[in-house]
Amino acid sequence: MMLTSLASIALATSLLVTPLGAQPVGIDAVEPPTLTADRWIVYDAQEDVVLASWNANDRAPMASVTKVMTSIVVLENADLSDVVTIPPFVTDLRGSTAGLVAGEEWTVGDLMIAMMVRSGNDAAYTLGWHVGGQSTAAFVDLMNAKATELGLDDTSFANPAGLDAEDHYSSANDLLALTIAAEEYPDIRRLGRIKTVTMQPDPNGRERVFSNTNRLVGSFPGSVGLKTGDTPWADKVLIGVTERAGRPIYSVVMHSDDHFADTREIVEWAYGTYSIRDRWMRPLYSEEGGGSPVTPAIELTASHERRLRNMSSLDDGRWNTSSLEDLPKSAVIGRWIREALPGIAGG
């Protein structure tokens, strides 16, 4: 059937994208699971689209996922081979520690492992003290400057470890943006994948073995990071990075009773959704081996169906999960379809 406009395509696909924060709807509509987290977001990094979210802009304590920003600032301002002498004050910190001993010498690289894998507050403060020119406050200024650079408008840092403080908070949306930025650093990606690591022995000769606080790594299919958090004010927090079949899914859960269970639930749900390309294209051709669950809006030949399946992806850019009419790339999508299917979608 020859078309002179994109009206039929728009009609067939207008229900396949939904408002930001709402559950995805369409042919494969399945409500997101109910989580214990009161703030969360899940994102398809392949398509650059938020699949679903809840209270994603609400500010709340973020606990030790703070250390992702600490890692970024350290990598931008120090060499991994730098040697640091552990200052006495970090050995008195509360919360999770790596068991550092005052006067020991550690490289920045090993301190990063102690901070990101073991979630050592002593390692985070040591790194901040070193990069800040022996001033933790100066390092926190660098963290907040980086947050401004990344557009994290609902984020404020008061320390490099994530200890509870009135002016230390973020949002699920900002933590997602932080995750996207962090994944550009190979060293951070490498740290997120470590399951267990043996470090230098302590001054008494006792071996130090650090296990990743993110128990999903090595146990949940595709989990490759990124950081856990847990404090009295924040409850349980988890930034998750999962990669399956070339489709990365990023997730953030905040103020959770069980951050591991919540992350598993929302990630499994995410992998059950169609990609953006599938949502646009699925109504245009029948499924192989049984037929489509809906009647295609456009009758296409087998040749045209093959061409649809082989079409290259749209150019990169921030997709909003909004209605088709409000989609900023509507014009781009129209041109893309007309160029890919000349004579079918009209000129």
Of the candidates 97, 72, 101, the residue with the CA atom closest to the CA atom of residue 84: 101
Asked if residue 305 is part of any domain, the answer here is yes
Nearest-angstrom CA–CA distance, 43 and 61: 21
pLDDT digits (tens, 9 = 90+) for 118-132: 999 999 999 999 999
- Note the pLDDT of residue 32: 84
Does position 315 have pLDDT exceeding 60, yes or no?
A: no
| 152, 39 contact by CB (below 8 A) | no
| 9 shares its domain with 135 | no
Asked if residue 209 is part of any domain, the answer here is yes
Neighbouring C-beta atoms of residue 136, cutoff 10 Å: 22
| 95 shares its domain with 18 | no
pLDDT category of residue 6 using cuts at 50, 70 and 90: very low
Asked if residue 245 is part of any domain, the answer here is no
Domain that holds residue 300: 1-22+274-347
Asked if residue 146 is part of any domain, the answer here is yes
* Residue after which a domain boundary falls, among 179, 194, 214: 214
Asked if residue 317 is part of any domain, the answer here is yes
pLDDT category of residue 87 using cuts at 50, 70 and 90: very high
| 70 shares its domain with 180 | yes
Nearest-angstrom CA–CA distance, 66 and 158: 10
| 11 shares its domain with 107 | no
pLDDT digits (tens, 9 = 90+) for 36-76: 999 999 999 988 888 899 999 999 999 999 999 999 999 99
Asked if residue 9 is part of any domain, the answer here is yes
- Note the pLDDT of residue 133: 97
| 15 shares its domain with 67 | no
| 17 shares its domain with 68 | no
The CATH number that applies at residue 151 is 3.40.710.10
Q: Which of 7-16, 88-97, 169-178, 298-307 has the lowest mean pLDDT?
A: 7-16
| 103 shares its domain with 198 | yes
Domain count across the chain: 2
Q: Which of 46-50, 95-99, 161-165, 175-179 has the lowest mean pLDDT?
A: 46-50
pTM, 2 dp: 0.75
| 294 shares its domain with 174 | no
Asked if residue 28 is part of any domain, the answer here is no
3-state SS string over the chain? CCCCCCHHHHHHHCCCCCCCCCCCCCCCCCCCCCCCCCEEEEEECCCCEEEEEECCCCCECCHHHHHHHHHHHHHHHCCCCCEEECCHHHHHCCCCCCCCCCCCEEEHHHHHHHHHCCCCHHHHHHHHHHHCCCCHHHHHHHHHHHHHHCCCCCCECCCCCCCCCCCCEECHHHHHHHHHHHCCCHHHHHHHCCCEEEECCCCCCCCEEEECCCCCCCCCCCEEEEEEEEECCCEEEEEEEEEECCEEEEEEEEEECCHHHHHHHHHHHHHCCCCHHHHHHHHHCCCCCCCCCCCCCCCCCHHHHHHHHCCCCCCCCCCCCCCHHHCCCHHHHHHHHHHHCCCCCCC
Does position 262 have pLDDT exceeding 80, yes or no?
A: yes
Nearest-angstrom CA–CA distance, 100 and 91: 7
Does position 18 have pLDDT exceeding 50, yes or no?
A: no
